[in-house]
Structure 1
Amino acid sequence: MTGGAQLTPAEAGTRYEVFHTDCPAREVVDHVTSRWGIWVLISLRSGDLRFYELRESIQGISEKMLAQTLRALVKDGLVWREVEPTTPPQVTYGLTEFGRDLGEPLAELFDRITRRLPPRELG
C-alpha cells in the first residue's frame, strides 16, 4: 500500500470521477476495501486501540501488514495516530470523523451478512 489521498468534501455540485484511473477517491476505496483495511476500520469502531491491541483484535494480520494498512488509512484521513513519548513509545489509533462515517455502512454490511448466514453448528 503506497500513497494516499487526503480527501476534502467536494464543492456543491462537483463529484469525483471515480471511474477514472487517476481519481484520488479510487485510492481511498482501495485502502478501505483492501484485505485488512476493512477489518481495521471495523475494529476501531469500538474505540481507540494501541497497535498491539489492534493486532490482537484482527486475527491473522501480521505486524507488517497492520503497519502498512494503518499508514495508508492515516494518510487517507480515516484514522488518526498518536505517539506517547514513553520507552518504548506507545502508539494509539482511532477513527477520524471521516473514518467513523465510513465505518457505519461497513458495520451495517457485516450485520446484514451475519443475519443472512445460516446458524453456526456448535461442536
Structure 2
Amino acid sequence: MIRGDGGRTIRAVLDRICDKWTLLIVATLDEGCLRFTDLHRQIPGISQRMLTLTLRNLERDGLVSRTAYAEVPPRVEYELTPTGRSLIPPALGLAGWAMEHIEEIEASREAYGERPGAGAAGA
C-alpha cells in the first residue's frame, strides 16, 4: 500500500536499504553482535568513515543497536534489532533472485550494448 505522501516514505526507506553498504552490514551482523573493528574487517572495501556513517544511519532507523561499554580501551558493539533482523529474509530473497537471473541480465546487457545508438542520451 502506498501512503498518501506520493511515495516519499517508501523511497526514503528503500534509499537506506538499497544503499551500497547497508545490506552488506546487515548480512554481516546477521552472524551476531560484532565490535566495530571486527565488522570493518569483514566488509572489504568499506572505509572507517563510511562504516561509521552507515551504522549511525542504521541505528537512527532502528535496524541496528549500538552498545558502548565504559572500559579502557572503550568497547562498542553493534547488533541487529528485531526490525533489522526482519530484513534478512527479503534481502536473501532478493539476492537469490539476482543469482537465479544473473545470466539473463548479463545477456540482455550485452545485447543492449550491441544495439546501434545504445549509448546515446534519450535512447
Equivalent of 1:101 in 86, 99, 109: 86
Partner secondary structure for residue 92 of structure 1: strand
TM superposition shift of 1:108: 2.9
Cα root mean square deviation, aligned: 2.1
Q: Which residue of 1 aligns with 2:42?
A: 57
Residues paired across the two proteins, number:
103
Higher helix share: 2
CA distance 1:115–1:26, shift in 2 (3 Å): closer
Q: Which residue of 2 aligns with 1:68?
A: 53
Match status 1:20 vs 2:7: yes
Structure number with larger C-alpha Rg: 2
Deviations 1:25-66 (A, max 9, x none): 432321111011111111111111110111111100000000
TM superposition shift of 1:112: 4.2
Deviations 1:64-104 (A, max 9, x none): 00000000000000000000111221110000010000122
For structure 1, list consecutive stretches of 5 or more residues without a partner in the other structure: 1-13, 119-123
**Partners of 1:15 and 1:116 in 2: how far apart?**
28
Structure 2 matches for 1:31-42, cutoff 5 A?
A: 31-42=16-27
Report sequence identity in percent. Answer: 35
For structure 2, list consecutive stretches of 5 or more residues without a partner in the other structure: 104-123
Q: Name whichever of 67-76 and 85-94 sits farther off.
A: 85-94
More contact order relative to length (CA 8 Å, sep ≥ 6): 1
Q: Which residue of 2 aligns with 1:6?
A: none
TM superposition shift of 1:116: 5.7
1:20 is aligned with what amino acid?
G
